[in-house]
């Protein structure tokens, strides 16, 4: 009996061909995953940069509006209208990652958002001079256990409506003492007063115009008083009788000005400078041993604005 052998005519793949195909597929998938990872990292970095910029611009815009409406007076009393000083050390951040420069501000302003913007409404008790406080602190506003699980560098703005400002803060010789005697940290650090987060540095420079007689004509100088707690200028105030400060300020070259002459000067402008961290930068600031200068250089964005203030 003859048994015929049939040879298959259907095409197929050898084992070597399958291995080559699988290898090529794995390589292509690896390249695709790698490129996708780069794209996601780029997107995440861009998103963080945009978010950081938005936060910084929002903070500077709000501060600028308050300074543009600042209320300063000159007269015969010692009543203070502006205070700038250093924030409490235990609120400046983890050891070795403290906020590089944080200026605490209290001053009077014609805020347009007083009484929650309902000016002339049922809650408006009259008056147009509010008080405002700015504080940059490292704080956890979510948990209360003290472990700083969700702590961030947060900028707070506490607006005091005209009726409260008139009752508790106006006509006080020590504005900071009057404020802290009336308002606690818990009242400052509420969710309503939270402005933006990830602000890692808040610097303020007051521009003081000083006019002195020099020969036949008076000469005007502009002195820059930069708040730098723990370094140069720790405290700066303005009352009706003039300016006072604790620390050193920057005199113009060859001006021969004295501190007493500066104390008789007038605030004519303010330079605001803030540094905002990305979310990755915040994580590194909380947990890493990264150098602070490197942290700001690689994960921070710097913003500044110059403001012309009303003359008293």
**pLDDT at 244 (0 to 100):** 93
Kindly report the pTM of this predicted structure: 0.81
Q: If you count them, how many residues does the chain have?
A: 312
How far apart are alpha carbons 17 and 74 in whole angstroms? 91
**pLDDT at 4 (0 to 100):** 54
Q: Do 112 and 88 meet the contact criterion of CB atoms below 8 Å apart? A: no
Q: Do 218 and 212 meet the contact criterion of CB atoms below 8 Å apart? A: yes
- In the chain, the largest separation of any two C-alpha atoms, in whole Å, equals 137
Q: Can you point out the beta strands (E) in the chain?
A: 80-86, 103-109, 130-139, 152-160, 194-197, 199-214, 217-226, 233-239, 242-247, 266-277, 300-308
**pLDDT at 91 (0 to 100):** 80
* Sequential pLDDT tens for the chain (312 residues): 555 555 555 566 687 878 888 888 888 888 888 777 777 766 666 666 666 678 778 889 999 999 999 999 988 889 999 999 988 777 877 776 678 888 899 999 999 888 887 777 767 777 889 999 999 998 877 765 555 667 888 899 999 999 999 999 999 999 999 999 999 998 999 989 999 888 888 999 999 999 887 767 788 889 999 988 666 788 999 999 999 998 888 787 777 888 888 899 999 999 999 988 887 777 777 766 677 778 888 888 888 999 999 988
**pLDDT at 159 (0 to 100):** 96
**pLDDT at 183 (0 to 100):** 94
Q: Do 48 and 91 meet the contact criterion of CB atoms below 8 Å apart? A: no
Tokens of 46: 């861009």
How far apart are alpha carbons 216 and 223 in whole angstroms? 22
């Amino acid at each position: 009996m003859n048994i015929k052998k049939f040879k298959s005519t259907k095409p197929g793949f050898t084992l070597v061909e399958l291995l080559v195909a699988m290898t090529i597929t794995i390589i292509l998938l690896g390249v695709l995953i790698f490129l996708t990872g780069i794209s996601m990292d780029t997107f995440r970095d861009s998103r963080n940069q945009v978010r950081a910029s938005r936060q910084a611009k929002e903070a500077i815009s709000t501060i600028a509006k308050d300074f543009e409406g600042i209320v300063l007076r000159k007269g015969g009393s010692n009543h203070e209208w502006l205070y700038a000083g250093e924030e409490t050390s235990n609120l400046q951040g983890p050891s070795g990652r403290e906020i590089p420069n944080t200026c605490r501000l209290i001053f009077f302003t014609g805020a347009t958002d007083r009484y929650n913007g309902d000016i002339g409404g049922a809650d408006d008790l009259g008056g147009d001079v509010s008080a405002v406080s700015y504080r940059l602190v490292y704080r956890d506003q979510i948990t209360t256990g003290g472990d700083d699980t969700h702590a961030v560098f947060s900028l707070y703005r506490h607006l005091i409506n005209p009726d409260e400002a008139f009752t508790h803060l106006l006509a006080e010789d020590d504005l900071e003492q009057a404020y802290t005697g009336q308002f606690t940290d818990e009242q400052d650090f509420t969710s309503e007063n939270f402005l933006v987060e990830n602000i890692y540095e808040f610097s303020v420079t007051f521009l003081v115009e000083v006019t002195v007689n020099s020969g036949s004509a008076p000469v005007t100088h502009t002195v820059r008083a930069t708040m730098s707690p723990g370094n140069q200028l720790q405290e700066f105030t303005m009352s009706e009788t003039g300016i006072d400060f604790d620390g050193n300020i920057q005199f113009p070259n060859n001006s021969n000005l004295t501190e007493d002459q500066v104390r008789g000067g007038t605030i004519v402008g303010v330079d605001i400078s803030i540094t905002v961290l990305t979310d990755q930068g915040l994580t590194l600031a909380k947990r890493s041993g990264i150098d602070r200068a490197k942290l700001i250089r690689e994960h921070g964005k710097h913003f500044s604005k110059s403001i012309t203030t009303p003359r008293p």
